Amino acid sequence: MSIPVFSLLLLIFLYSKQNTNLVNKSNVVNYQPNTPDTLGQLDIGDTTPPSGLDLSVVTDDSQYYDYVLSSGSSVSYRITKLFIGQPAQEVVGTGTGVIGNGSLSKDGKHIKVNAQIDLTSIKTDSPKRDSDVLKLFKSTLAELTADVDLSNPVTLGDSTTSDVPANFTLNGVTKEITLSVAGQATDKNFTAKGTSKVKLTDFGINPPSLADVFTVSDDITFEFTINGNRTN
């Protein structure tokens, strides 16, 4: 049976219009062919995010200068040794076995420090004394950490001083200490020196002594020198 030409054209028209209505024009990707003014640009329509959707990404790293501790970082201790019938003697030990990292907020108001100290690197003028000192410790690794707001914000390039609370782990015992810190930071590096006096007994260490010969003070002063190079 033959279909009249007019009826056939009408059916094609209706079918094409129905399929066209199924296409969401906002989702069509239109390719514009190469012309002297364009190199095949793609038009993907409006890419504005829906209202109320925040696509911004802010990480802590973008708010901090990050540093890794470098050569020149060191730790030292000072302690008094009393010999019977003799003047007091100050014993000083210094070591460079210090590694770790630190961060300074870009507004200069917050610092983070994590330093590990190899106590076996600390030397005095007596190898025998150094060996005896190490026998006092359950662990030869000490740690200094801080994550605090500064009372005196740091301005890059300027020297600053501040009392900084920190956690100090020695002999496997962690105590909060206060460091008197003086330092300077730039956008490339930083250096800081901190001093704190603590008691050995607070960390479970009995000061060594020898009857009728000498005693060692319970008070010990630690001095930290920390240098860092910028990493971000």
CA-nearest of 114, 122, 119 to 139 is: 119
What is the fold, at CATH topology level, of the domain defined by 65-230?
Lipocalin (2.40.128)
Confidence at residue 61, expressed as pLDDT on a 0 to 100 scale: 57
Confidence at residue 12, expressed as pLDDT on a 0 to 100 scale: 52
Indicate whether this model's pTM tops 0.85. no
The span from the CA of 229 to the CA of 232, in Å, is 10
**Which tokens sit at 182?**
């003086």
Confidence at residue 150, expressed as pLDDT on a 0 to 100 scale: 87
Confidence at residue 54, expressed as pLDDT on a 0 to 100 scale: 40
Put residue 98 in one of left, alpha, beta given phi > 0 → left and psi -120 to 50 → alpha: beta
Confidence at residue 40, expressed as pLDDT on a 0 to 100 scale: 39
Strand 89-95 relative to strand 98-105, pairing: unpaired
Residue 82, C-beta contacts closer than 8 angstroms, at least 6 positions apart: 88, 89, 214, 215, 216, 217
Question: Which residues in the chain come in under a pLDDT of 50?
Answer: 1, 5, 20-59
Confidence at residue 7, expressed as pLDDT on a 0 to 100 scale: 53
The span from the CA of 212 to the CA of 153, in Å, is 51
Domains of the chain by residue range: 65-230
Q: pLDDT per residue over 196-210, tens digit each?
A: 999 999 999 999 988
Torsions phi, psi of 77, nearest 5? Answer: -130, 155
